Structure 1
Amino acid sequence: MPWFLTHFLIFPALDFIRPVFGAIPLRIVISGFAATDESTQVSAASQFRIIFSLEEEPVLVEYLLKASRIGFPLDTSTLKSLAYDLAIRNIKRIPDSWRTQKSAGKHWLKGFKSRHSQLSIRTPEPTSIARATAFNKTNVGPFFDKLKQPYEELSLTPERIYNVDETALSTSQKPQKVVAESRVKQVAQLVSHERGETIIMLGIINAIGNSLPPCLVFPRKQFKPHMIFGAPPGTHGFANPSGWITKKLFVECLRHIHRHVRSTPENKVLVILDNHESHISI
């Protein structure tokens, strides 16, 4: 805005309003300056900044958190539909777009998320019902009862308790979003191979969250040092035509752990394993 408009319009308006701020309706102030309705319109979006009260939103937050804890988290579309249903049920003033779409808008979702930092948009991990129901006090309790005995007998500390397990890695990663020409049906990105190969990684982590360099098993007859180029320092590589850890390779993995933790008869380490064939062979 030019300086002369600021001087002759804004400053007199402030001087007029300041002595009686809040004491007269806005329309009277507008009429005193011959302002038109078009110049003083308030956008529809600003009229509906917060739909639910400060007492109602925490109830919705608690419902979302509880649903997530029991394995039934709501996606953003379901949350917006739920917000619309709650607004209708509680006779709230809502924008016309909510009624048209039968759903809350993206601006409400963004504001709702910013007001409640304990909520975040996450990608859930698929978990079977059998696995979820097996994780309960009755099934998990005996594990800690058995863990208590060596923990006390060996005078272990959390950093001397390690969990070891395998996971599968792929040499072909999911491409990230790239910048390309619009109106092109398909965008290609060159990779070494399309399908990739599966590499077995033996992860090693202790009870305080510190990890050791992993062991990698490649589906090859012979291991070559270049196979672990770029891997974390200290990574130990193996080769097996099947790509799986065998009894012999697992013993080598235990030696790998021993070299890093420097366990001795006086300073023992507890390694927790599952019942895989290669683990129970020793």
Structure 2
Amino acid sequence: MPTNYKRKSNRQSWTAQQLEQAIKAVKSGSPVKTAARSYAFPRSTLIRHLTSPTVSTRLGPLDSVFNSQQEELLVQHLLDLENRFYGLTMTNVRKLAFDLAEKNGLPHLFNKSTKMAGKAWLSNFLKRNPKLSFRKPEATSAARARGFNKLAVSAFYDLLEEALKDPKLTTDRVLNADETSVCTVPPKKSKVVALKGKKQVGGITSAERGETATAVMCMSATGQHLPPFFIFLRMRMHVALKKGASRGSKFACNASGYMTVEIFNEWFDHFLEHVKPSEDSPAS
């Protein structure tokens, strides 16, 4: 079966809605010829469906492995897994389709040696369900995934709503802080010109794998931001690490390169130093 099959005729190019409307018109007293012409529906096909309502609408010798209801359940299952941060790859989806067909005793032409549905099936499955697509996932820690739930999010917005009731709190005093991982060696490098056919092309970096550092950024709703706060994976700070940093940046070191309670206190002092909240000018 070709991956991109192109139809060789315009048979059954009508929709189920056209069929339903044409049948309803005939049952209301309209002649078959008139109903077929009104709804752009083949007259002979309309006659067949009127005389035998159970007539098959299938084209070609092959049936779909899953019916529309089964495919909808499969789509919802795939989306549910992705929402739980356990999205399936292309290979996983093909294996799942094979297992579903086998467990439910559905006739199929999937490869029984690899125990996977074919690439053609996956391609057509995506065409039938255009709301699905394969995306590159962003690495998310288990701790962050557990913390991002309805209860935690609702509690956050309840606190935010309560804070925004203060008439002294203006938009430039509402700030959001977040941390991100920064690698000293970029994971991807731009292509460079080299001799065609050369087996290996290298590029000088500070290290082959690089080290991960944490950058804590804080910005207000109006776009004003604090100088960044960097956390390095090392036990002692070196002046060379500060070179090129923006004015006011602060630095810290620990054995993990991540935020800790002690370093958060340092960052909070950094926050107070620049934001300077007071009773007359609070910040949130």
Q: Which interval holds the TM-score relative to the shorter structure? A: 0.5 to 0.7
- 1:62–1:198 Cα change, 3 Å: closer
- Kept in 2: contact 1:52–1:92 (CA 8 A): no
Query: CA–CA distance in 1 between the matches of 2:148 and 2:83?
Result: 13
Which of residues 174, 178, 181 in structure 2 aligns to 1:161? 174
| Pairing of 1:183-198 with structure 2 (within 5 A) | 184=199, 187-198=201-212
> What does the per-residue CA deviation read over 1:190-214, in whole Å, with 9 as the maximum and x for residues that have no partner?
2133343444311225579x68365
2:90 paired residue number: 76
2:70 paired residue number: 56
Which of residues 102, 115, 127 in structure 2 aligns to 1:102? 115
- Kept in 2: contact 1:221–1:240 (CA 8 A): no
In percent, how many aligned pairs have the same letter?
A: 27
Which of residues 193, 211, 227 in structure 1 aligns to 2:244? 227
1:200 paired residue number: 214
Query: CA–CA distance in 1 between the matches of 2:179 and 2:146?
Result: 23
Query: CA–CA distance in 2 between the matches of 1:238 and 1:110?
Result: 51
2:106 paired residue number: 91
- 1:62–1:153 Cα change, 3 Å: same
2:50 paired residue number: none
Aligned residue-pair number:
214
Which of residues 171, 174, 188 in structure 2 aligns to 1:175? 188
Q: In the TM superposition, what is the alpha-carbon distance from 1:83 to its structure 2 partner?
A: 1.0
- Report SS of the residue matched to 1:55: helix
Query: CA–CA distance in 2 between the matches of 1:166 and 1:107?
Result: 42
Query: CA–CA distance in 1 between the matches of 2:191 and 2:275?
Result: 40
TM-score (norm 1): 0.54
- Kept in 2: contact 1:81–1:104 (CA 8 A): yes
- 1:196–1:90 Cα change, 3 Å: same
TM-score (norm 2): 0.54
Query: CA–CA distance in 1 between the matches of 2:212 and 2:180?
Result: 10
1:113 paired residue number: 126
- Kept in 2: contact 1:168–1:200 (CA 8 A): yes
Q: Aligned-residue CA RMSD in angstroms?
A: 4.5
- Kept in 1: contact 2:250–2:270 (CA 8 A): no
- 1:195–1:265 Cα change, 3 Å: same
1:217 and 2:234 are equivalent in the alignment? no
- Kept in 2: contact 1:170–1:198 (CA 8 A): yes
Say which structure is richer in helix. 1
- Kept in 2: contact 1:80–1:104 (CA 8 A): yes
- Report SS of the residue matched to 2:112: helix
Q: Which one is further off, 106-115 or 211-220?
A: 211-220
- 1:265–1:47 Cα change, 3 Å: farther
- Kept in 1: contact 2:227–2:250 (CA 8 A): no
1:251 paired residue number: 269
Q: In the TM superposition, what is the alpha-carbon distance from 1:107 to its structure 2 partner?
A: 2.8
Q: In the TM superposition, what is the alpha-carbon distance from 1:84 to its structure 2 partner?
A: 1.6
Amino acid at match of 2:269: V
Query: CA–CA distance in 1 between the matches of 2:190 and 2:118?
Result: 26
